[in-house]
């Protein structure tokens, strides 16, 4: 080790030791003739088992830095290769590494983190613009020095490399686990500028949350799960930076810099206001014939950020639902809807995979879903969805009709909403004929059920609605191929409804001229279809049915067979 007070190379006086790593010691030195302080990194041969390898790495590092000049990079002043020791003389960076500040203070303010990230993005962009490009590969808080003036400097270029376009994959695994991108661990492609973008995203995550991605739970969650007060725009940026696939990240530091400078434009809270301003701006731009290209460019850019975060919420919601975390699934799908209310995927997954997973549509679930469809302020999410994707809107309308008709029909609100959504589906220009037939038939049944039960009479003495029409509509429904529509559970509900209607209205059907044999044939059709769904016939399987539905189906089969037995006796007696 260098002695305090000694003179190195005849000009650098060692003042004190300021740092020590596994392979090196860093000293503060003074060039007394120039009256300037420097940092000297010492690597000793007797202190390093693989000294020559380390030395070669340091030569690469110093050669890199010698060619660089940037306000957020240290400068290499001198390299002294002595017997048994290797010294690097460089700028002395006064301040503390961000890792030390994190340890003392915990999470940092997002305003500071964004400012530091912009400076680091600038220096990474500079490195990537060299010929050939330089990939840093080890961005983390301990490699970033915060100076007293609030600016940062990137230090330690031990893992940096020049990008080789001919390489398919890196042969060495360099970087720090937790901050390193997947491609840094071999077999996942070559590291490039997007690798540094991942590492910067992981660094921002640690700085703004105080949670080290290299420690349990070894996963980077959306930052607002740690602190809901953080910006959803910054959350979107970090999520995009840390995508596993490099193609899903920002493709350049220029892209990332733009996002950091406009992070508030990506906030969920600003989304609606932004959309309004965008419409006005684009209209003005087109009218004036100027700025249209730049406006469209910004729109595409903003949408890419939103899509990335939206996909993350969808993924998290799906995983939470698979793991049985119902509340987390609802939260993630709701976040996705708030972020991009014009996209249908989150609505559909929330309804079909979460809310109806237990075949129950509760009042609380109805309130949650209705609130999400309504949106806030003057923007109605339902209208945004309809205007953005009519086909997806109509598909959702059909699913909502089923949800309210089969799982929420015992309330006045349920009947009204079932009728509304079936009406939309029935008039669809894009749904297949089977769904439109089901929707239009059930819309009619909902519309006339009350009149049918109250026996409303027209002025000419006829019923407003006949039981013959009801019978025809029920038969239309039981002869739809629900299996091929992927509606196994709905098919069970249809068959149960047919059986219960026969039980309740059989005499009314007979009074309208429908025969016992016709009713018996309908019940046999329903029984055979229920047996097929249950797996009793034609080697079909009921594995996809929840246990509760299987139990209900077994009871329904017993009930319909009882009705069949009763009718067969009635018909036999009538034929004697």
pLDDT of residue 153: 94
How large is the C-alpha radius of gyration of the chain?
Answer: 35
Interval 502-518: pLDDT, tens:
888 899 899 889 999 99
Nearest CA-CA partner of 239 in 214, 193, 262, 205? 205
How far apart (Å, rounded) are the C-alpha atoms in residues 335 and 158? 41
Backbone angles phi, psi at 26, to 5 degrees: -115, 130
Please return the burial class of 300, using the count of CB atoms within 10 Å of its CB with bins 0-12, 13-18 and 19+: exposed
pLDDT of residue 178: 83
Nearest CA-CA partner of 406 in 461, 469, 351, 468? 351
pLDDT of residue 475: 93
Give all strands of the β-sheet with 152-154 in edge-to-edge order: 96-97, 144-146, 152-154
How far apart (Å, rounded) are the C-alpha atoms in residues 192 and 71? 23
Interval 298-351: pLDDT, tens:
445 456 666 777 887 888 888 888 888 888 889 889 888 888 889 999 999 999
How far apart (Å, rounded) are the C-alpha atoms in residues 22 and 434? 71
pLDDT of residue 34: 80
562: left (phi over 0), alpha (psi -120 to 50) or beta: alpha
How are the residues of the chain apportioned to helix, strand and coil, as percentages rounded to the nearest 5?
A: 60, 10, 30
The low-confidence residues of the chain, meaning pLDDT below 70, are: 22, 45-55, 57, 61, 158-175, 186-189, 268-306, 376-379, 453-464, 486, 536-546, 548, 575-576
Nearest CA-CA partner of 395 in 359, 364, 434? 434
DSSP secondary structure string for all residues of 346-409: HHHHIIIIIGGGGT---HHHHHHHHHHHH-STT--HHHHHHHH-HHHHHHHHHHHHHHHHHHST
pLDDT of residue 61: 67
Please return the burial class of 115, using the count of CB atoms within 10 Å of its CB with bins 0-12, 13-18 and 19+: middle
Cα angle: 384, vertex 389, 395; to 5 degrees? 105
pLDDT of residue 155: 85
Q: Residue 428 half-sphere exposure, CB side, CA atoms within 13 Å? A: 29
Question: With contact defined as beta carbons under 8 Å apart, do 195 and 183 qualify?
Answer: yes
Could you give the C-alpha distances from 444 to 170, 179, 411, 438, 447, in angstroms and in order? 65, 60, 18, 10, 5
Question: With contact defined as beta carbons under 8 Å apart, do 542 and 533 qualify?
Answer: yes
pLDDT of residue 302: 53
pLDDT of residue 510: 92
* Residue 18 parent element (H or E): strand 12-20
pLDDT of residue 288: 55
pLDDT of residue 267: 76
How crowded is residue 457: how many other Cβ atoms within 10 Å of its Cβ?
11
**What's the per-residue H, E or C state across 62-129?**
HHHHHCCCCCCCCCEEEEEEECCEEEEEEECCCCEEHHHHHHHHCCCCHHHHHHHHHHHHHHHHHHHC
Please return the burial class of 510, using the count of CB atoms within 10 Å of its CB with bins 0-12, 13-18 and 19+: middle
Backbone angles phi, psi at 262, to 5 degrees: -125, 30
Question: With contact defined as beta carbons under 8 Å apart, do 385 and 341 qualify?
Answer: yes
Name the β-bridge partners of 97.
Answer: 145
């Amino acid at each position: 080790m260098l002695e305090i007070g000694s003179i190195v190379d005849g000009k650098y006086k060692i003042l004190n030791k300021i740092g020590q790593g596994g392979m090196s010691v860093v000293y503060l030195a003074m060039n007394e003739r120039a009256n300037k302080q420097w940092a000297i990194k010492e690597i000793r041969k007797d202190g390093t088992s693989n000294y020559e390898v380390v030395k070669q790495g340091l030569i690469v590092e110093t050669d890199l830095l010698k060619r660089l000049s940037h306000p957020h990079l240290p400068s290499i002043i001198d390299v002294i290769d002595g017997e048994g020791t290797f010294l690097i003389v460089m700028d002395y960076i006064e301040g503390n590494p961000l890792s030390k500040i994190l340890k003392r203070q915990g999470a940092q303010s997002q305003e500071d983190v964004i400012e530091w990230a912009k400076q680091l993005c600038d220096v990474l962009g500079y490195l990537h613009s060299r010929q050939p490009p330089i990939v840093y590969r080890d961005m983390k808080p301990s490699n970033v020095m915060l100076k007293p003036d609030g600016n940062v400097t990137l230090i330690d270029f031990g893992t940096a490399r020049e990008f080789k376009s001919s390489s398919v994959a890196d042969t060495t695994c360099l970087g720090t686990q937790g901050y390193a991108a997947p491609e840094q661990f071999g077999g996942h492609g070559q590291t490039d500028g997007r690798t540094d973008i991942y590492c910067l995203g992981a660094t921002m995550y640690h700085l703004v949350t105080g949670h080290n991605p290299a420690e349990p739970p070894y996963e980077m969650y959306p930052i607002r799960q740690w602190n809901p007060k953080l910006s959803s725009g910054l959350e979107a940026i970090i999520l995009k930076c840390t995508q596993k696939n490099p193609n899903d990240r920002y493709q350049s530091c220029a892209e990332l810099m733009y996002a950091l400078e406009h992070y508030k434009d990506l906030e969920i809270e600003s989304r609606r206001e932004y959309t309004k301003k965008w419409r006005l701006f684009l209209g003005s731009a087109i009218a004036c014939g100027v700025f249209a290209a730049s406006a469209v460019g910004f729109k595409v850019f903003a949408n890419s950020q939103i899509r990335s975060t939206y996909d993350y919420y969808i993924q998290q919601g799906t995983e939470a639902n698979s793991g049985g975390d119902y509340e987390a699934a609802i939260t993630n799908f709701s976040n996705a809807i708030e972020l991009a209310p014009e996209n249908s995927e989150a609505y559909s997954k929330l309804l079909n995979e979460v809310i109806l997973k237990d075949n129950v549509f509760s009042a609380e679930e109805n309130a949650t879903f209705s609130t999400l469809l309504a949106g806030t302020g003057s923007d109605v999410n339902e209208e945004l969805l309809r205007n953005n994707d009519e086909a997806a809107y109509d598909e959702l309308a059909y699913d909502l009709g089923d949800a309210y008709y089969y799982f929420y029909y015992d309330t006045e609100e349920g009947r009204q909403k079932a009728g509304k959504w079936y009406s939309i589906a029935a008039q669809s220009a894009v749904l297949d004929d089977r769904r439109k037939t089901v929707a239009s038939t059930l819309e009619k049944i909902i519309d006339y059920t009350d009149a049918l039960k109250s026996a409303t009479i027209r002025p000419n003495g006829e019923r407003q609605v006949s039981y013959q029409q009801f019978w025809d509509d029920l038969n239309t429904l039981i002869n739809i191929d629900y299996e091929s529509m992927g509606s196994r559970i709905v098919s069970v509900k249809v068959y149960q409804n047919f059986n219960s209607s026969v039980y309740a209205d059989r005499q009314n059907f007979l009074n309208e001229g429908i025969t016992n044999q016709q009713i018996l044939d309908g019940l046999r059709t329903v029984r055979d279809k229920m047996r097929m769904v249950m797996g009793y016939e034609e080697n079909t399987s009921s594995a996809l049915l929840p246990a509760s539905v299987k139990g209900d189906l077994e009871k329904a089969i017993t009930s319909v067979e009882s009705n069949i037995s009763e009718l067969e006796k009635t018909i036999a007696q009538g034929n004697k």
